Amino acid sequence: MRVDPRKYLFFLVWAVSISASSPALAQGNREIAIVFDGSSSMAGRMEGKIKLDIAKDALSEIVKDIPAGSRVALRVYGQRFSVDEKEKSCQDSEAIYPMGAVDAESFARKVASIRARGYTPIAFSLTEAVKDFTGEEGWKRFIILVSDGLETCGGDPCQVARDMQAAGAPVVIHGIGFSVDDKAREQLTCIAEATGGKYFDARDAGGLLSSLQTIAKKEREPAPAPPAKPPPPSPAPQKPEYLPPPQKTRFGKEIRGGRYYEDAVPIAPGQYRLDHDLRVDEYDYFKIAVKNGQQLRVQYTTPDEGRPSAGALIHTADRLSVTADATLNTRSKTGAVSMELFDKGKDPLDFYILIGNKYEPQSKNALIDVFLDDHFDGGSQGDAGPKLESALEVKAGEYESNWLSRGDVDTFKMGAEPGQVVHVKAMPAGERSHMELIFYNEDREKLGGFSSKDRGAAVKGNAKVPEGGVYFQIKHGVSSDASTSYRMKVEVMAPK
């Protein structure tokens, strides 16, 4: 039976035109990266013909139907190395026709040169295909992935597709399965759906053709004119404009900070937005009092449309930066700056929160969340601190929530009679944490030291209470300094 290459052509073209039907795509030109299967199985047969030949015919034909003004790239994976060279074949993804206007003759020559030889590195190829786009503003980006089977190089192409969306530079991927099995169909569908694209099955050619004809006919009808929109307020030329995700409800109380430290506006934990846009390197100043043993965290989320930048900084009352410069430049992403206050006495200290970033103008629609979390020790309202003189007094009992911040040392004094034995057990929440427990007398002489046997394990130990009472410290072990909460149990026993 002769296979009509145009039926494959048909859904390749339709894959593009259905996207064009979306109102978001009604305007603007398209960059289409075709990712094409040159793996060994394409040498197999389908409907009496070599699959590669069928696909080649379709590819050569479609260029005639590519909408005017579009750019096309052709990338082939798996064709350069045989299945005997897995490592090389799994890194084999080559743009044989770079992104640009299509010259039918030279495109056809490239298509004719494709061979079917190696593995199927789909994940790798998708990652590479993103580089085929010019990144020019106003161009919509599509990948048409043609495969006759599953990824065979161990990659996770569906995850790659999801990551591409999460990275804020969306590409719509349409997957085409050539005579694929259920697993490959599932994978290609997952890739397509993760990006808002469609999957096309080329096995049931007859049924597919008729339904595609119906849809394609509809797609060719002129779309109703969209309602006139006022032009957007003078967008500065910067990153390419991609498909806007659906609009979300706006949260956050509108606030305005001071222009500098002197007129910083007091702020409480909560969710906010600024009531105005910011220029590059312009900041709104706020201030907040942080107690010893609290963590201040400022989270910033870039808006889902408009300028994608947001940033925040925490400064001390001395105007020193506590946090590294932190900004985002991707839509609908969240970042945070935070600091934990410990070993700093009983009075709260003032900190400044600066909203803004030094790289890009920042939209007022960036969302700002301010959190003040209690990282207290031993049931107190503060941090136990590093000094014996100011140790936190505890009694026998269980203390559910204690914190070892980064660089923190917690010192406790135990109320017990000389001669009694004090048992302490501390269990970190952090699975990578390694903790130490050290007992002292009032002269800071070490009575005994213990460390957790494994990372994430409890540290436990005991000491006989000397005259003047017993102190103990809990601190991070060697090469373990991540902030963690821990449970602590303290027991007093009579000497044996």
Interacting residues toward Ca ion by CB under 5 A: 377, 383, 403, 408, 410
CB of 414 to Ca ion, least distance (A): 17
CB of 303 to Ca ion, least distance (A): 37
Kindly state the helix (H) or strand (E) to which residue 211 belongs, with its residue range: helix 205-220
Q: Compute the distance between CA of residue 8 and CA of residue 49 in angstroms, rounded to an integer.
A: 14
CB atoms within 10 A of CB 9: 19
Q: Compute the distance between CA of residue 31 and CA of residue 73 in angstroms, rounded to an integer.
A: 8
CB of 470 to Ca ion, least distance (A): 19
| Half-sphere exposure (Cβ direction) of 454: Cα atoms closer than 13 Å | 3
Q: Compute the distance between CA of residue 93 and CA of residue 76 in angstroms, rounded to an integer.
A: 6
Burial class (CB in 10 A: 0-12, 13-18, 19+), 193: middle
| 23: DSSP letter | G
CB of 375 to Ca ion, least distance (A): 7
Q: Which is nearer to Ca ion, 312 or 409 (CB)?
A: 409
CB of 377 to Ca ion, least distance (A): 5
Token reading at 87? 């490592």
Give every CB contact of residue 445 below 8 A, 6+ residues apart in sequence. Answer: none
What one-character-per-residue DSSP string does 143-206 give? EEEEESS---SS--HHHHHHHHHHTT---EEEEEESS--HHHHHHHHHHHHHTT--EEESSSHH
CB of 412 to Ca ion, least distance (A): 10
Q: Which is nearer to Ca ion, 77 or 403 (CB)?
A: 403
CB of 331 to Ca ion, least distance (A): 38
Residue for token pair 């902030």? 483
Q: Which is nearer to Ca ion, 92 or 377 (CB)?
A: 377
Report which of 475, 488, 469, 431 is spatially closest to residue 449, judged by C-alpha positions: 475
Q: Which is nearer to Ca ion, 61 or 408 (CB)?
A: 408
Residue 40 forms beta bridges with which residues? none
Q: Which is nearer to Ca ion, 99 or 438 (CB)?
A: 438
Q: How far from chain centre, in Å, is Cα 231?
A: 32
CB of 389 to Ca ion, least distance (A): 16
Q: Compute the distance between CA of residue 454 and CA of residue 30 in angstroms, rounded to an integer.
A: 56
Beta-strand pair 139-147/270-274: unpaired
Given a contact cutoff of 8 angstroms between Cβ atoms, the answer to whether 195 and 140 are in contact is no
Q: Compute the distance between CA of residue 326 and CA of residue 146 in angstroms, rounded to an integer.
A: 40
Residue type, 433: S
CB of 471 to Ca ion, least distance (A): 15
Burial class (CB in 10 A: 0-12, 13-18, 19+), 388: middle
Given a contact cutoff of 8 angstroms between Cβ atoms, the answer to whether 488 and 426 are in contact is yes
Q: Which is nearer to Ca ion, 242 or 403 (CB)?
A: 403
Q: Compute the distance between CA of residue 376 and CA of residue 485 in angstroms, rounded to an integer.
A: 9
Q: Which is nearer to Ca ion, 369 or 408 (CB)?
A: 408
Q: Which is nearer to Ca ion, 132 or 340 (CB)?
A: 340
Q: Which is nearer to Ca ion, 284 or 410 (CB)?
A: 410
CB of 374 to Ca ion, least distance (A): 11
Q: Which is nearer to Ca ion, 177 or 378 (CB)?
A: 378
Q: Which is nearer to Ca ion, 19 or 484 (CB)?
A: 484
Q: Which is nearer to Ca ion, 151 or 343 (CB)?
A: 343
Residue for token pair 């969209």? 226
Residue type, 428: P
| CA gyration radius, the chain | 32
CB of 279 to Ca ion, least distance (A): 40
